Amino acid sequence: METTLEAPTRQTKPLPAAEQDFLPLQGTDYVEFYVGNAKQAAHYYKTAFGFQSLAYSGPETGVRDRASYAIRQNKLTFVLTTPLRRDNPIADHIYKHGDGVKALALRVADATSAWQETTKRGGKSYLEPMTVSDEYGEVVLSGIHTYGDTVHLFVERENYRGAFMPGFRKWETDYNPPSTGLLYVDHCVGNVGWNQMNPWVKFYEDVMGFRNILSFDDNDISTEYSALMSKVMSNGNGYVKFPINEPAEGKKKSQVEEYLDFYNGEGVQHVAMATKDIVSTVSDLQQRGVEFLKVPSTYYADLIDRVGKIDEDIEPLERLGVLVDRDDEGYLLQIFTKPVEDRPTLFYEIIQRKGAKSFGKGNFKALFEAIEREQAERGNL
Ligand code: FE2
């Protein structure tokens, strides 16, 4: 099936057969954000995205330097952390980057082994294995650095029955907006600097045992538009996928470069959250005030010609601005929010997969034109 960008996807070498996975991952455990005001951020994610209150940590629980709110929706867990004073790494992170993702925490059966296996392969330690415990059991945590000031934490929680983690207490509140049907983290995308994509691809291969499952170069992602290059890294079982973008030279300033300018370095560009019913989820999110990128209605005029027959009616997709793309295994529906802070940095993708395992390459052109319109409005093109 032809899509708007015809260049074939470059498939890279298959994983060597029966290779031992030295870093078995059970999925994303949580995403931690460092934010200027965690109380208000938690309210935003509950109100706008339908997360539920889960746990709280702060002075009332014996933590002196920060407050953290853990919120959850199905298998998605976010932690919003803010510093209570200046002159500490959390405050410095926000001063430099604005609100953003600090930690992509990954669930493992053995956080000590995860740290040992990755650091011995060249991973830079962020947190040596440590056990935290309370009356509900114990959690073992460890971590390594990745691009920019971002880190991967390894979370071993088989022996924990509490709400979230020792140091947190259950957060109960009367304000509980309903879920919007968001289910789990589908993938998390990192933006890295010029010529830094391949070194970070190698990091994920060598240090974490990931493999490159898809690549897009600047011929795929046209130089007419907000150009970038991207490689998708996946762990062995495919539960964890990290596409890595770097800017590419184009006629206009790359959207990745705009991000790097405003984030003051490399970091997480977007988190894709899965739903089983994108029309329902996105209708709900829009009513709750989440703002999405819109493509022109011409996108829908020849949609069926491009992607073939789909189960959904076109009308609600067009009304909401949901995009569709097909690969060899099926199709996917996706939509992107505008940045969720004043800096043009982090945004979200909502994705519904119907067989497709790819990332919507056929939508890049329409999408980048939409991003460019926004960049132009900000004076950053
Ligand atoms: Fe994505």
Q: What tens digit of pLDDT does each residue of 143-170 get? A: 999 999 999 999 999 999 999 999 999 9
Q: What is the model's pLDDT at position 252?
A: 80
Q: How far does residue 187's CA lie from ligand 1's centre (Å)? A: 7
Q: What is the model's pLDDT at position 7?
A: 37
18, pLDDT greater than 50: no
Q: What is the model's pLDDT at position 375?
A: 86
Nearest Cα neighbor of 110 from 156, 68, 160 is 156
Nearest Cα neighbor of 121 from 244, 210, 188, 243 is 210
Q: How far does residue 59's CA lie from ligand 1's centre (Å)? A: 37
Tokens 């991207």, residue located: 230
> CA-CA distance, 146 to 204, in Å (whole number)?
9
Q: Give the list of residues 6+ apart from residue 178 with CB closer than 8 angstroms, or none.
A: 50
Q: How far does residue 61's CA lie from ligand 1's centre (Å)? A: 36
Q: How far does residue 359's CA lie from ligand 1's centre (Å)? A: 6
Q: How far does residue 365's CA lie from ligand 1's centre (Å)? A: 14
Q: How far does residue 112's CA lie from ligand 1's centre (Å)? A: 31
Number of Cβ within 10 Å of residue 34's Cβ equals 28
* Sequence ranges of the domains in the chain: 20-170, 182-378
Number of Cβ within 10 Å of residue 206's Cβ equals 13
Q: CATH homologous superfamily of domain 20-170?
A: 2,3-Dihydroxybiphenyl 1,2-Dioxygenase, domain 1 (3.10.180.10)
> CA-CA distance, 157 to 165, in Å (whole number)?
8
Instruction: Answer for the pair 47, 340: CB distance below 8 angstroms, yes or no.
Output: no
Q: What is the model's pLDDT at position 267?
A: 98
Instruction: Answer for the pair 95, 142: CB distance below 8 angstroms, yes or no.
Output: no
Q: Average pLDDT in the 320-344 region?
A: 96
Q: What is the model's pLDDT at position 217?
A: 76
Q: In this prediction, what percent of the chain has a pLDDT beyond 70? A: 93
Angle between helices 364-378 and 255-263 (to 10 degrees): 50
Q: How far does residue 339's CA lie from ligand 1's centre (Å)? A: 14
Q: What tens digit of pLDDT does each residue of 274-320 get? A: 999 999 999 999 999 999 998 888 899 889 988 999 999 999 999 99
Instruction: Answer for the pair 123, 151: CB distance below 8 angstroms, yes or no.
Output: no
In this prediction, residue 218 has a pLDDT band, given cuts at 50, 70 and 90, of low
Q: Average pLDDT in the 103-125 region?
A: 98
Q: Average pLDDT in the 84-106 region?
A: 97
> Cα torsion for 113, 269, 361, 258, to the nearest 10°?
-140
Whether 20-170 shares its CATH topology with 182-378 is answered yes
Q: How far does residue 55's CA lie from ligand 1's centre (Å)? A: 28
3, pLDDT greater than 80: no
Q: What is the model's pLDDT at position 173?
A: 96
Structure tokens of 13?
A: 């070498």
Averaged confidence pLDDT in the chain? 92
Q: What is the model's pLDDT at position 119?
A: 98
221, pLDDT greater than 70: no
Q: What is the model's pLDDT at position 324?
A: 96
Q: What is the model's pLDDT at position 4?
A: 37
Q: What is the model's pLDDT at position 8?
A: 38
Q: How far does residue 2's CA lie from ligand 1's centre (Å)? A: 20
Instruction: Answer for the pair 11, 214: CB distance below 8 angstroms, yes or no.
Output: yes
Q: What is the model's pLDDT at position 222?
A: 58
pTM of this prediction? 0.92
365, pLDDT greater than 90: no
Q: How far does residue 73's CA lie from ligand 1's centre (Å)? A: 19
Q: What is the model's pLDDT at position 9?
A: 44
Q: How far does residue 122's CA lie from ligand 1's centre (Å)? A: 28
Q: What class does CATH assign to 182-378? A: alpha beta
Q: How far does residue 53's CA lie from ligand 1's centre (Å)? A: 26
